[in-house]
Amino acid sequence: MGGTTLNGTYDGDDKVAVYGGAAYTHAAGGEWRTVTEGGETTTYDYDAVGNLRTVTLPSGTTLEYVIDGRNRRVGRKVNGTLTQGYLYDGQLRIVAELDGANNVTARYVYGTRVNVPEWLEKGGGMYRIITDHLGSPRLVVNATSGAIAQRMDYDSWGNITNDTNPGFQIFGYAGGLHDPDTKLTRYGARDYDARTGRWTAKDPIGFEGGDVNVYAYVENDPVNMVDLYGEDAMSSALSLGAGLVLIDGPLPVGDIVAAAIIAGTWGYVVWDWMNDEDDSIPLVLEDQATPLVCNYKEHSKNQRPSNLPKHERGEARRKKDRPGGEKGDERRDPYGKRPPGWKGPWPPK
């Protein structure tokens, strides 16, 4: 980070023990318990399902997070007093920010991405949120004057290296919900620490997340991958395509294509995985030079697009490991029965 090399040590369960000058302890469930650096300790407490609920800073300040029945972070308290609230549309999209008295202080308008807004309405003004390929806000621009209200820069792991207007809007690296006091970023089920490049808790779906290291962030490929739900990595391009499906609900194919063209997205696969019909077919948006063709075989229509590559890798392993003779097995006799009238040895040599 910033040209400095930081060394880390880890235990047999991949929990970080020491990173740089900080020492880490963990709770019985594997979540961060304490981080001590320079003689100062920060304490973390989690609920039974792995949500970060309180953080006690070295100053004695206590931050508390309010979680609703759908596992969404809907509020933030400082020393017991509610200071921020969030209203959602679906599981990830924060559409309004509230103050401690439940007054709306900001509204967010979404377009092409699942978890990152395109527009911010705040203080009577409209602002365009310009993001990079991961969904990280880079510029927030006043739509009337063109003035830059906020600029944010990051290193490759998501550490914020420059922020000209901290707190102007709530989103951070890869579109997660950023906490300026803890420096952690929330994605769905978990919190990410950019300093160590790791999650603070185990993957709630375990090895089903696709990585043998349940603390690793996006398979250690943060330049190309994102994890919107805190459970499994997906390509940043696919996350953009998935967002198109949610524009105004499950759209007809024509509207999805139109939205994709307007957004300038090409080569992205969009699944209408919200529809109710059997045998849902993925929509393939194809560039002539670089077509992206994706097979949906045996993939549940209710699965997120990010699960498809993992599913097919698992299918390939399953077919390879089981004995031949099963339908679809790669090692099954490819020739079958001798055709009528065939003369000579069978199978052909």
Average pLDDT over residues 240-249: 51
Q: Which residue bears the tokens 């103050």?
A: 99
Side chain identity at residue 165, one-letter code: N
What are 38's two structure tokens?
């320079």
pLDDT band, residue 242 (cuts 50/70/90):
low
Residue 263, amino acid: A
Tokens encoding 226? 């994102």
Identify the CA nearest to 166 among candidates 186, 185, 151, 182: 151
pLDDT tier, 301 (very low <50, low <70, confident <90, very high otherwise): very low
What contacts 271, CB < 8 A, 6 or more positions away? 242, 245, 280, 282, 283, 296, 301, 305
Name the residue type at position 242: A
What CA–CA distance (Å, rounded) separates 266 from 281? 18
Distance (Å, rounded) from C-alpha 225 to C-alpha 128? 24
Dihedral sign, Cα of residue 174, residue 176, residue 178, residue 182? negative
The residue assigned the tokens 């310009």 is: 130
Cβ partners under 8 Å of residue 232, min gap 6: 203, 205, 208, 209, 210, 304, 306, 307, 310
137 pLDDT higher than 80: yes
Query: pTM (2 decimals)?
Result: 0.71
Determine if the peptide bond prior to 347 is cis (ω within 30°): yes
pLDDT confidence tier of residue 231, bands split at 50, 70 and 90: confident
- Measured from the Cβ of residue 320, the count of other Cβ atoms closer than 10 Å reads 10
pLDDT in tens, 76-106: 999 999 999 999 999 999 999 999 999 999 9
Element (H, E) at 261: helix 253-263
Which phi and psi (to 5°) does residue 178 adopt?
-95, 135
Q: Is 237 exposed, middle or buried (0-12, 13-18, 19+ CB in 10 A)?
A: middle
pLDDT classification of 335: cutoffs 50, 70, 90: low
CA dist 227 and 215 (Å) reads 12
125 Cβ neighbours under 8 A, 6+ residues apart: 142, 143, 144
Each residue's pLDDT tens digit, 147-206: 999 999 999 999 999 999 999 999 999 999 999 999 999 999 999 999 999 999 999 888
Q: Find where tokens 């997205």 sit.
A: 265
